[in-house]
Amino acid sequence: MIEKKYTEDHEWVQMDGDMATVGITNHAQESLGDIVFIDLPTVGKVVKAKDELCVIESVKAASDIYSPIDGEVSEVNEKLSDEAALVNQDAENEGWIFKIKVSNTDQFQDLMSLEQYLAFLEN
Amino acid sequence: MPINYKNGIINEHLRVRNQAGIFDVSHMGQILIPLTQDNIKSLEKFIPLNINNISSNKCHYSFILNSNGGILDDIMLSKITYIKNEYIYIVYNSSRKSVLEEIFKKTVRNYEIIENRCLIAIQGPESFASLKEILNLSQNMNFLNISVIQYNVSDVIISRSGYTGEDGFELSIINKHAEEFLTKLLQKNIILCGLGCRDSLRVEAGLSLYGNEINENISPIQAGLSWAIDKTRLIDNSLNCSSILTEQLNSPKSIKKIGLIPVNKTMLRANMPLCNEAKKEIGYITSGCYSPILKCSIGIGYINKISDMSEVIFVKVRDKFEELKIEKIPFIKKNYKKGDVND
């Protein structure tokens, strides 16, 4: 079953088995403005939840992207190397940033549902 | 002034380069100082211009200097006739208002800090065509000319100038007429632009920003802006820092301003350290941004002049060193409307 959840750092995490696909939310891309460069993570890197994993550079500022979950980076969206603006155009689908082979799937359940994330944005 | 309006920084930037955009820069300081010999004498203690000799109706880029030659602010100064009186009109940075206004208070007389006027910049190759439908603009107005013209039975101080490297105008207009004027302009397919593209446009054009390239500890000579100093003022003891500036002008430079482009994709930002091949720090980036024209990041920085220019330069971006190419400043060709080349 594929399930999608959200973090307080404005990332979305879509879980399929033990594979998590991660990107930034539409709200995040709107506040960042034009995204011009993404310093993608290295495949094979082992990470803990909340570790800084990559950096998104928009015309306004640099923003750190954190790993939402423990695991190992298994794939990055190479399309973003030449077309970072894809994150502005389609943040929650084509603009995914990296995939993580999750070592602790329980952590996923601690993330926010869409309703919780929307309520979080309201506050 | 917001960072950007709904079109976003890149779109706003490209509109200014290709058509025209409007900047509401009313936050900037504007002052009218009566053109008397006493006021000129006072101003010339800290402004490196010969105010009696400069031509009227012409804007001059200059500085307010401290006694060490450090830049308290960079300004646009002109002599204008306004309501039948002659004035020195100075536009200065909003971030420097308190410092400058304290200086004006102590040094010049009968001045008026302008609070009842907006300052609107229209920038881009189509700015003349759009403006002339609204204002009685002369074809003969060239880059840095300034004049007072009528709009809605009030005086508008208009100069052909700006901060983008494009042809354009800055208008000082009475507050109560500003909204109507802007509404008319916005009907001409010109969009409002924010601070974000104002910065990327000025970096592409290689223009200095107070707080980035220039500050109280850097002189115009160190900042590569000695062209804006009237050299006759350096042999004149009435300028508070003339001997320091003369010494700097005649000595090897301690720092050098350079333009930078990364070899690989990365973003240059202000205050990132610049290093040589041995990763020893040799300077820093003063301004960095994404250039929508060059489609890569660009930066301006200072390096110690003693460092060998032939060596490879790196920038430290977080924990990585990225190689840089030295580029000429400006990064783009300026598109000013010049008449006489001596202007």
Give, for B72, the enclosing helix (H) or strand (E). strand B71-82
Contact check, Cβ <8 Å, A33/B3 = yes
The alpha carbon of residue B194 is apart from the nearest alpha carbon of chain A, in Å, by: 12
Give the number of C-alpha atoms closer than 13 A to the C-alpha of residue B197, restricted to the C-beta side.
31
Q: In this predicted structure, what is the pLDDT of residue B143?
A: 96
Give which of A26, A29, A22, A28 is closest to A5, Cα–Cα.
A22
Query: Tokens 């011009």 map to which residue?
Result: A36
Taking residues A110-117, report their average pLDDT. Answer: 96
What single letter denotes the amino acid at residue B44? Answer: E
Output the CA angle B268-A61-B196, nearest 5 degrees.
90
Contact check, Cβ <8 Å, A33/B8 = yes
Token readout for B214 is 């220039």
Say if B8 is an interface residue toward chain A (CB within 8 Å): yes
Contact check, Cβ <8 Å, B297/A62 = no
Chain B residues with beta carbon closer than 8 angstroms to that of A39: 266
Question: Three-state SS for A5?
Answer: strand
Other CB atoms within a 10 A radius of the CB of residue A46 amount to 13
Taking residues A74-88, report their average pLDDT. Answer: 96
R_g (Cα) of chain A, nearest Å? 13
**How many A×B Cβ pairs under 8 Å?**
35
The alpha carbon of residue A122 is apart from the nearest alpha carbon of chain B, in Å, by: 21
The alpha carbon of residue A33 is apart from the nearest alpha carbon of chain B, in Å, by: 7
Taking residues A98-104, report their average pLDDT. Answer: 96
**CB-CB contact of B161 with B169 (8 Å):** yes
Report the distance separating Cα B225 and Cα B202, nearest Å: 15
Cis peptide before B330 (omega within 30 of 0): yes
Report the distance separating Cα A97 and Cα B29, nearest Å: 45
Question: Three-state SS for B16?
Answer: helix
The answer for residues whose C-beta is within 8 angstroms of residue B153's C-beta and 6 or more apart is none
Taking residues A19-37, report their average pLDDT. Answer: 96
Token readout for B166 is 């494009």
Beta-ladder partners of B275: B281, B314
Say if A79 is an interface residue toward chain B (CB within 8 Å): no
Contact check, Cβ <8 Å, B266/A62 = no
What single letter denotes the amino acid at residue B138? Answer: S
Closest Cβ–Cβ partner in B196, B265, B318 for A59: B196
Q: In this predicted structure, what is the pLDDT of residue B308?
A: 62
Q: For chain A, which domains are there? A: 2-104 (2.40.50.100)
Chain B residues with beta carbon closer than 8 angstroms to that of A37: 265-267, 290, 297
Q: For chain B, which domains are there? A: 9-204 (3.30.1360.120), 252-327 (2.40.30.110)
Question: Three-state SS for B75?
Answer: strand
ipTM greater than 0.95: no
Give which of B44, B32, B46 is closest to B83, Cα–Cα.
B32
Chain A residues with beta carbon closer than 8 angstroms to that of B269: 62
Say if A59 is an interface residue toward chain B (CB within 8 Å): yes
Chain A residues with beta carbon closer than 8 angstroms to that of B10: 34, 59
Chain A residues with beta carbon closer than 8 angstroms to that of B319: none
Q: Per residue of chain B (343 residues), give pLDDT as tens.
A: 999 999 999 999 999 999 999 999 999 999 999 999 999 999 999 999 999 999 999 999 999 999 999 999 999 999 999 889 999 999 999 999 999 999 999 999 999 999 999 999 999 999 999 999 999 999 899 999 999 999 988 999 999 999 999 999 999 999 999 999 999 999 988 999 999 999 999 999 999 999 999 999 999 999 999 999 999 999 989 999 999 999 999 998 889 999 999 999 999 999 999 999 999 999 999 999 999 999 999 999 999 876 666 678 999 998 899 999 999 999 999 999 987 544 3
Taking residues A3-11, report their average pLDDT. Answer: 96
